Structure 1
Amino acid sequence: MPVRELLARVGSDELTEWMAFYQLEPFGEVRADLRSGVVAATFANAHRTKDARAFTPEDFMPFIERSAPQGNARLNVARFKALFSHKVKKNG
């Protein structure tokens, strides 16, 4: 879908929600690369020497951004919850 058509059909709030969701649960090629990385790491770890470092899926994902600190996941979850807090029923 062309960008102009997307913007005509989807409001900015919905687009923002999809962008936040993608940060937490990526879909598309990044997700496919991760699945392939899991398979490759499993195979490589089954055949590595005893004293070698264990492989991770990221070792087989050459285009992944490696500079992001691990704490980003918690920050992304907090941001995502904040985005949808107005849509959650409050008990009480």
Structure 2
Amino acid sequence: MGCRSGKKLRERPERRFWFRLAKELGKSVRQAQLEISSAEFTEWMAYYSLEPFGELVADYRHGVACSLLANVNRSSKDRPEPYKADDFIYWRDTGQQQEEAEPVLLDDPVAHGQLLRAALFGVRPSS
């Protein structure tokens, strides 16, 4: 059963967000789902995209503090480039940042929804 749950959480980012939101609200997922409507849940997801909360934010905050400490003690001869917060968050992607693309608008609402889901949660659109 443990493997199925992990797979379900990886494949269903909305489900994973339920856990994140329930934790933030101090409730079980079941309690949160009983008390929060679909419309409110959608608003929580939009709010999270504007102002993230939870452990990911705490990890970034920690990375900022570590980079500050490292830069104060950094030898500019040995390391000319300053440390960044991402240098101290091992699981973060350290690749080059991509340029911001133009918005993509699709006529098909289902395809558009799948595209949004892929962009927000990293889930590939289903065929």
TM-score of the two chains, using structure 2 as the length reference: 0.48
Instruction: Provide the residue aligned with 1:5 in structure 2.
Output: 31
Instruction: Provide the residue aligned with 2:11 in structure 1.
Output: none
Deviations 1:54-82 (A, max 9, x none): 1111111122345674638xx7xxxxxxx
Does residue 63 of structure 2 align to residue 34 of structure 1? no
CA RMSD in angstroms comes to 2.4
Identical aligned residues as a percent: 36
Distance, in Å, in 2 between the alignment partners of 1:46 and 1:9 is 48
TM-score of the two chains, using structure 1 as the length reference: 0.63
The answer for unaligned runs of 5 or more in structure 1 is: 76-92
The answer for unaligned runs of 5 or more in structure 2 is: 1-26, 104-127
What is the CA-CA distance between 1:49 and the residue it aligns to? 2.0
Higher relative contact order (CA 8 A, sep 6+): 1
**Number of matched pairs:** 73
Task: Extract structure 1 runs of 4+ deviating beyond 6 A.
Answer: none
